[in-house]
A and B are shown apart, each in its own frame.
Chain A
Amino acid sequence: MNQVFMFDALREATDEEMEKDSSVFILGEDVGHYGGSYKVTKDLHSKYGDLRVLDTPIAENSFMGMAIGSAITGLRPIVEGMNMSFLLLAFNQISNNAGMLRYTSGGNFKIPIVIRGPGGVGKQLGAEHSQRLEAYFQAIPGLKIVACSTPYNAKGLLKSAIRDDNPVIFFEHVLLYNLKENLPDYEYFLPLDKVELVRKGKDVTIVTYSRMRHHVIQAVDKLVKEGYDPEVLDLISLKPIDIMSIGNSLSKTHKLIIVEECMKTGGIAAEIIAQINDNWFDQLDAPIIRLSSQDIPTPYNGTLEKATVIHPEQIMKAVKSLVNI
C-alpha cells in the first residue's frame, strides 16, 4: 500500500493498460510532450513514443472522429479532453459516431473508445471552463458514462473502461486531482455499472457522485455526531444508473436525497427520480430531495461561484428535514 495522488492513479491505470495491450493509445492536446494539463499522462510519452501518446492539433471534433475511426478498425484509443467542456465541439462525433455507429451499422463495428478528462466547477475558472456535461451526454444511446471520485475508484474504473469494448465517457473533476489515498499494490478492476457503498446506514439514502461525494461526506461526518445514520451511495455509473442498488437502499430507508453538481434542469437527479417513480415509488415516505447546482452559467466571482454549487450545510439541512430523531 502506498499513498497515491488521483492524477497518478489515473496515470498508473493508463500505463498498466498500455503496457499490457499495445493497441491502447492516448491522444489529445498536450498529452505528450507537456505530460497533460493535469499531469495524468506525465512521462508516458518518453516511454511509449509519438504515436501512442499523440499530441493533437486543436481540432476536437476531428480528432474525436479520428479516434473513432481508429477504434472501428481495431485500435483502442483514449481521448483526453483537456477540459471536458471542450468536448462540446466534439458532440457530433460523440453522439453520432461513438454512441450510435454500432447500432446504425447493425453491429458491423464496435467502438472501444474511452473519452476522459476533467470537468466540474473549479476555483473561479469562469463559465466556459466550469461545465458539467454529464446531463447533456446522458441521453445519447450507446454510451456508458462513469464519474470517478477517489484515487482508488479512479484507477479501478479507468482500467475497466479501457478494457470495455464500448464507448465510455469518463468524467474526472478539476478539484480532485490532488486527493491522496492508499492504493493496493495488486491489480484491481472496478465495475463500470455499479454504485459504490460509501457508508452503510438506515435513516436516509444519499446518492451522489464526483466532487459532491466529498461534500456529502463532510456533512455526514457532522450528522453522525448528532445521532443521524445516513446511507451514502456514490453513483459511479451515470449511464446506466444502478437503480437496483438505489432502490434496495430505499427499501431500507424510505427517504432519498440526491446531491449532484450538474444543473438542476434535466440533470442526473431528474433521471433518477423518474426511474424511482417507475419502479420504486411505493418505497418512498416523502418526495425525493434533489440538491443540484443552479441553472446559471458559473460566475467568476468567488462568493457567487460558491452559491452556484451545493455545500455541506445544505446537505445537512436536507437530511434534517427528512429524518426525525
Chain B
Amino acid sequence: MSDNIILPSRLYDNSIVDYETMLNLYQDMLLGRNFEDMCAQMYYRGKMFGFVHLYNGQEAVSTGVIKALDNTDYVCSTYRDHVHALSKGVPASLVMAELFGKETGCSHGRGGSMHIFSAPHNFLGGFAFIGEGIPVATGAAFQSVYRSQVLNESKAIRVTACFFGDGTSNNGQFFECLNMAVLWKLPIIFIVENNQWAIGMAHNRSSSSPEIHKKAASFGLPGIEVDGMDVLAVRKVACQAIHRARQGEGPTLIEALTYRFRGHSLADPDELRSRQEKEAWLARDPITSFKNYLLSNSITNQSIIAEINAKVKKEVDNAIEFALSSPEPEVKDLKRYLFAEDL
C-alpha cells in the first residue's frame, strides 16, 4: 500500500433526513458495532465457531443503504453478513442464536455465520463463495420485473440491494450480472464495499483498474463513488439509486470506500496492513463521526445518545441470553430441510 493515502472528501447533506431518521441511523450503526464486538468475545469464549467475518468499520454502508429500503425490498449479502441482516431487521437474537448454532437461529443452526437467511425479512443470504450471491440477487430483481410486467402486479417495484467486496469485483459473476442487469433494466443496486483488502491481497495488487465504479460505464449503468465512512453520503446515493430502480430505469453500481477495522475473519492475524493505514481509517470511525456531527450541530444531545447506547447494549445482551438459553438442533432432525417436503 503506498504512503499516499488519499481520502475522499466528506459531504454531509441533512436536507432530507429528519430527526427520527437521524437517530435511527445512529442506533443501527451502533447495534452493528456492538453486535460484532460481542461476536468476537463469544468466539474467544468458545460459543461460536468456524469462519466469522466481522464488519467493524463498515457500518455506514450497511445502515446508509439498507435503512433507505422498504421492508419488501431484498438484500443479498456475502459471508460478512451479520450487520446487513441486522440493518434489514432480522432480530439480533435470531442472528446470535444462528451464530451459536442453535435451533432458534434464523437458519435453524444449519447455516452459521456465513449463511444468515431470513425469508420474512427478504434477506436472501449469506454466501460463502465470493460472487455467488450476485446472480441470486440478480434473479430476485428479475422476479420484480416479471411480477410487474408478466403477472401484472400493480404494487411498487421491489428493489434488490446486492453487497460484495473489492476482491469480488474481479470475478466473472460480477461482470456477467452487470451485463444482464442493464440488458433487462433490473431494479438492482450493486454495492461494492471497497475496504481495500481481500484477506491479504491489497486491492491495487489484484486489479488492473482499481477504480471499480468506473467499470460501470463499460456496461452502461451509472457508477458512483462514495465515502463509505459517511452514513449520510451513503444514504444519499442509495436513495438516488433506489429511486432509479423503482422508476424502471435499471441498475446502479455504488462503490463505497471503506475499511474493516478487524482482520478478514477472526482467524486472520491481520499482519499485512500497516499501523499507519489502520490509524488513518480508525480516525474516521463512521459512528464516532456521526455522533460528533449530531452533537456539534445540536441535532441531539448527550443524554439521548446515552439512552440509545443503553438501548443497544440491552438488545445485544438480550440476544446473548437468548442464544445461550436456546436449544441445540436434534440429531434426529439431521435430514430436515433437504427437500421442500421436509418441513
Contacts and interface: CB of A to CB of B under 8 A. Distances in A.
Contact of A66 (B111, B138, B172, B338): B138
A25 B13 CA distance: 44
Given A109-B117, A142-B339, A72 B140 contact: yes
Q: Interface size class for chain A?
A: 35 or more
Contact of B136 (A56, A59, A97): A97
Contact of B135 (A23, A57, A63, A74): A63
Contact of B107 (A22, A52, A105): A105
Contact of A96 (B132, B138, B336): B132
Contacts of A61: 135, 172-173, 176
B132 A74 contact: no
Given A61-B176, A73-B74, A106 B139 contact: no
Given A65-B134, A103-B337, A108 B119 contact: yes
A97 B132 contact: yes
B339 A102 contact: yes
Contacts of A230: none
B107 A65 contact: no
Contacts of A70: 139-140, 142-143, 146
Interface stretch (B44-52, B56-64, B121-129, B280-288): B121-129
Contacts of A66: 135-136, 138-139, 142, 177, 180
B343 interface: yes
Interface string A226-252: 000000000000000000000000000
Nearest to B74: A73
A23 B107 contact: no
Q: Interface size class for chain B?
A: 35 or more
A107 B143 contact: no
Interface string B255-284: 000000000000000000000000000000
B336 A107 contact: yes
Contacts of A107: 108, 336-337, 342-343
Interface string B163-191: 00000000011001101100100000000
20 contacts: A59-B176, A62-B138, A65-B132, A65-B134, A66-B177, A69-B124, A69-B138, A73-B74, A73-B124, A92-B129, A96-B128, A97-B136, A101-B125, A102-B339, A104-B107, A108-B106, A108-B118, A166-B339, A166-B340, A166-B341
Given A65-B173, A66-B135, A165-B340, 19 more contacts: A23-B151, A25-B150, A63-B135, A63-B180, A65-B135, A65-B136, A70-B143, A73-B124, A75-B146, A96-B128, A96-B129, A102-B339, A104-B117, A105-B107, A106-B117, A107-B108, A108-B106, A108-B119, A141-B338
